[in-house]
């Protein structure tokens, strides 16, 4: 940082470690910030759309991630520059709120910044640019509200939801079995959705990935998969019409929580103690047996004694089941969680059609499958795939698809995908721009140009001549007045996205535009960066 000097030529140390701080201000700061943010955005550009490419990321400890998901890429890149970090957060926010469109939002923000830089070069005040962008964003959002179409979502009508999920999966590595994946996503969300309150709690959908098999083996289970095996190898491996008992106390003699000591004074007493302990075990198993349960799931461990007894009484049991699974199991089977043996009653048991232990391939990996549960309020998706990298990516893809379906349930308005909406907004904003007085006009027009960047990138990634293609579909939109005309990225022969079934939720699009505009404003508003000098 610059130093001030007094009469004697001595510098003022006004700020701690002043000489080791770096300060950039004014236009220079703007340019540096924009450049950093644009670099990040440019990285993402090639990941956009169904023909977008994946990125391979190697973590410091050598883990490899191959992904197409914008939020994941940015997150794992460990971006250091603070303004660029804003874009990472932007992508994360989109991920948190909508779950999809994480690449699009960053590309849009990058395009806006690129336009802003041009305007800055013309000497326009940065805040005027930001104001113009905000004005333009309003126009674009209004346009989205205009062109959105409401679709009817009934519990039995899967087709439409599936289409949306397929759009979300289109750009991912799993696109070869997108039909299956989309189906699974729709089923899973509908199973846990509360359609009346339009609320979907993702905690109730468990996703498990097991390496081995192929992606096509990925399956949807109306129940729970436990990454455990039965407590005794000789227990039954399969239980039909299971009556499930869920316990949160160990199969052990009870212990008081208060600090205690037991003084044994004689051998007889000791005998008595041993006998009592034995009685506890038989008593416990009897209680379980009496309730009619034929499967025991326990949050804690068993004594060997108890394990043996359970096996003898033909009671298959699983121990050390995690708290989260216990909860999901209770929800799926309709069981009540039992805190101690005294409280076991037949009403507290849950029901499951089939419980079996299965192992995968030749590995010793065993899981317990609990399916055909009486209540389907908690479900599981089992992902299979050739390698860990594929499984991880499939998990991310499914997450995106789940989010898309959820958003449809939350808000059933859709707009065209494939850059159609951006194009429609761009045309609308461009028209409005001419009516605006003052310097903002330039900024509004720049916003329209930035919006075109999305279809442009899509066309480019799909192998078309971008400018030519864009002008073609722009003309089509203008002459037909159809806001659903976009980039035919999959070469299906029609540019009408509605016909192709490439749709996105209107809320997601609105969110993208607003978030990008707000973050761009934040970046434009910074004119002074104070940083430690060693910071690069």
Partner 1 sequence: MVSCMTAKQSENPSIVILREGTEDSQGKPQIISNINACQSIVDVVKTTLGPRGMDKLIHQQRSVTISNDGATIIQLLDIVHPAAKTLVDIAKSQDNEVGDGTTSVVLFAGELLNQSKQFIEEGMHPSVIIKGYREAMTKSIDRIRECSIKIAEEEGRRDILKKCAQTSLNSKIISKYKEFFSEMVVQAVEILESDLDKSFIGIKKVTGGSVTDSFLVEGVAFKKTFSYAGFEQQPKKFVNPKICLLNLELELKSEKENAEIRLDSPEDYQKIVDAEWTLIYEKLEKIIASGSQVILSKLPIGDLATQYFADRGLFCAGRVPNDDLLRLAKSTGGVVQTTVNGLTDDVLGTCGVFEEKQLGNERYNFFTQCIGTKSCTIVLRGGADQYIEEAERSLNDAIMIVRRAVKANAVVAGGGAIEMELSRFLREYLRSISGKQQLVINGFAKALEIIPKTLAENSGMDSTDVLNKLRQKHTQDAEDGIWFGVDVINGRCANMYKEFVWEPELVRINVISAATEAACTILSVDQTIKNPKSEQQQAEAAGRLQGTSQQGRPRPQMGRGIRGRGGK
Near partner 1 in 260-279, by CB under 8 A:
260-263, 265, 269, 272-273, 276
Binding residue (CB under 8 A) for partner 1 from 44, 90, 161, 362: 90
Binding residue (CB under 8 A) for partner 1 from 314, 340, 431, 475: 340
Binding residue (CB under 8 A) for partner 1 from 45, 172, 319, 510: 510
| Site track 318-337 with partner 1 (rule: CB under 8 A), x = hit | -----xx-xxx-xx----xx
Virtual CA dihedral for 522, 526, 530, 531, nearest 10 degrees?
A: 40
Report the site for partner 1 in 444-503 (rule: CB under 8 A).
Answer: none
| Contact of 184 with 396, CB cutoff 8 Å | no
Report the site for partner 1 in 94-123 (rule: CB under 8 A).
Answer: 94-98
Tokens of residue 38, six digits? 């644009």
Q: Rounded to a whole number, what is the distance in angstroms from the first to the last CA of the chain?
A: 15
SS3 call for 361: coil
* DSSP, residue by residue, 193-207: -BTTTTB--GGGEEE
Beta-carbon contacts of 390 under 8 Å, excluding residues fewer than 6 positions away, are 173, 215
Closest CB to partner 1 among residues 156, 255 = 255
Report the site for partner 1 in 169-228 (rule: CB under 8 A).
Answer: 197, 199-201, 203-204
Binding range to partner 1, per CB under 8 A, among 52-60, 93-101, 286-294, 489-497: 93-101
Closest CB to partner 1 among residues 278, 465 = 278
Kindly state the smallest distance separating residue 463's Cβ from partner 1, in Å.
32
Tell whether residue 156 is a contact of partner 1 (CB under 8 A): no
Closest CB to partner 1 among residues 84, 433 = 84
Binding range to partner 1, per CB under 8 A, among 43-51, 357-365, 458-466, 509-517: 509-517
Closest CB to partner 1 among residues 295, 470 = 295
The C-alpha atoms of residue 305 and residue 321 are separated, in whole angstroms, by 19
| DSSP state letter for 352 | E
Kindly state the smallest distance separating residue 432's Cβ from partner 1, in Å.
17
Binding residue (CB under 8 A) for partner 1 from 49, 50, 70, 126: 126
Tell whether residue 28 is a contact of partner 1 (CB under 8 A): no
Tell whether residue 254 is a contact of partner 1 (CB under 8 A): yes
Tokens of residue 391, six digits? 């499984």
Report the site for partner 1 in 362-401 (rule: CB under 8 A).
Answer: 378
Closest CB to partner 1 among residues 151, 439 = 439
Q: Give the interface size with partner 1 as a residue count (CB under 8 A).
A: 91
Binding range to partner 1, per CB under 8 A, among 4-12, 45-53, 208-216, 470-478: 4-12
Tell whether residue 504 is a contact of partner 1 (CB under 8 A): no
* DSSP, residue by residue, 434-480: TT--STHHHHHHHHHHHHHHHHHHHHHHTTS-HHHHHHHHHHHHHHH
Tell whether residue 291 is a contact of partner 1 (CB under 8 A): no
Binding range to partner 1, per CB under 8 A, among 43-51, 161-169, 482-490, 520-528: 520-528
Bridge partners (DSSP) of residue 381 are: 207, 220
Measure Cα distances from 45 to 32, 196, 213, 392, 522 in Å.
20, 39, 33, 22, 22
Tell whether residue 283 is a contact of partner 1 (CB under 8 A): no
Which amino acids are annotated catalytic?
69, 102-103, 400
Kindly state the smallest distance separating residue 58's Cβ from partner 1, in Å.
23
3-state secondary structure 298-320: ECCCECHHHHHHHHHCCCCEECC
Bridge partners (DSSP) of residue 358 are: 367
- Taking each helix axis as running N to C, give the angle between helix 27-45 and helix 102-121, from 0 to 180 degrees, rounded to the nearest 10: 150
Report the site for partner 1 in 52-81 (rule: CB under 8 A).
Answer: none
* DSSP, residue by residue, 44-92: HHTT-STTPPPEEEE-TTS-EEEE--HHHHHHHHT--SHHHHHHHHHHH
């Amino acid at each position: 940082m610059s130093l001030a000097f007094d009469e004697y030529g001595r510098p003022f140390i006004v700020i701690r470690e002043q000489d080791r701080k770096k300060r950039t201000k004014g236009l220079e700061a703007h340019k540096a910030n924009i450049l950093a943010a644009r670099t990040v955005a440019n990285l993402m550009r090639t990941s956009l759309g169904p023909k977008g490419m994946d990125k391979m990321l190697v973590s410091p400890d050598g883990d490899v991630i191959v992904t197409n998901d914008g939020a994941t890429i940015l997150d794992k890149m460990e971006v250091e520059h603070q303004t660029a970090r804003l874009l990472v957060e932007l992508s994360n926010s989109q991920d948190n709120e909508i779950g999809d469109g994480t690449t699009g939002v960053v590309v849009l923000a990058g395009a806006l910044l690129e336009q802003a830089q041009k305007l800055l070069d013309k000497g326009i005040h940065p805040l005027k640019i930001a104001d113009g962008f905000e004005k333009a964003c309003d126009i674009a959002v209004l346009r989205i509200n205009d062109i959105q179409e409401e679709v009817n979502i009934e519990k039995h009508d899967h087709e439409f939801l599936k289409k949306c999920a397929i759009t979300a999966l289109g750009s991912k590595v799993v696109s070869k079995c997108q039909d299956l994946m989309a189906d699974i996503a729709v089923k899973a969300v509908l199973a846990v959705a509360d359609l009346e309150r339009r609320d979907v709690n993702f905690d109730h959908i468990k996703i498990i990935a097991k390496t081995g098999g192929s992606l096509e083996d990925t399956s949807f289970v109306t129940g729970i998969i436990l990454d455990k095996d039965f407590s005794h190898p000789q227990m039954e491996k399969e239980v039909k019409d299971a009556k499930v008992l869920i316990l949160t106390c160990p199969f052990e003699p009870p212990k008081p929580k208060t600090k205690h000591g037991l003084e044994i004074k004689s051998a007889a007493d000791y005998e008595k103690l041993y006998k009592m302990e034995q009685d506890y075990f038989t008593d416990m198993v009897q209680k379980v047996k009496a309730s009619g349960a034929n499967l025991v799931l326990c949050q804690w461990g068993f004594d060997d004694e108890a394990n043996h007894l359970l096996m003898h009484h033909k009671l298959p049991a699983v121990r050390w089941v995690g708290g989260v699974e216990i909860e999901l199991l209770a929800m799926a089977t309709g069981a009540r969680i039992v805190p101690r043996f005294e409280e076991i009653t037949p009403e507290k048991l849950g029901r499951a059609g089939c419980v079996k232990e299965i192992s995968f391939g030749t590995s010793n990996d065993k899981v317990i499958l609990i399916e055909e549960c009486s209540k389907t309020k908690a479900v599981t998706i089992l992902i299979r795939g050739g390698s860990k990298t594929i499984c991880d990516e499939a998990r991310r893809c499914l997450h995106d698809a789940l989010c898309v379906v959820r958003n449809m349930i939350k808000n059933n308005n859709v707009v065209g995908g494939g850059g159609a909406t951006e194009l429609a907004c761009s045309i609308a904003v461009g028209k409005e721009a001419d009516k605006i007085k003052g310097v903002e006009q330039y900024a509004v027009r720049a916003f329209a140009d930035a919006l075109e960047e999305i279809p442009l990138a899509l066309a480019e990634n799909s192998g078309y001549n971008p400018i030519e293609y864009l002008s073609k579909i722009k003309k089509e939109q203008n002459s037909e007045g159809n806001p659903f005309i976009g980039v035919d990225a999959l070469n299906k022969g029609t540019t009408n996205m509605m016909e192709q079934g490439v749709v996105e939720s209107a809320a997601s699009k609105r969110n993208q535009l607003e978030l990008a505009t707000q973050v761009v404003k934040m970046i434009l508003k910074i004119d002074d960066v104070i940083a430690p000098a060693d910071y690069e």
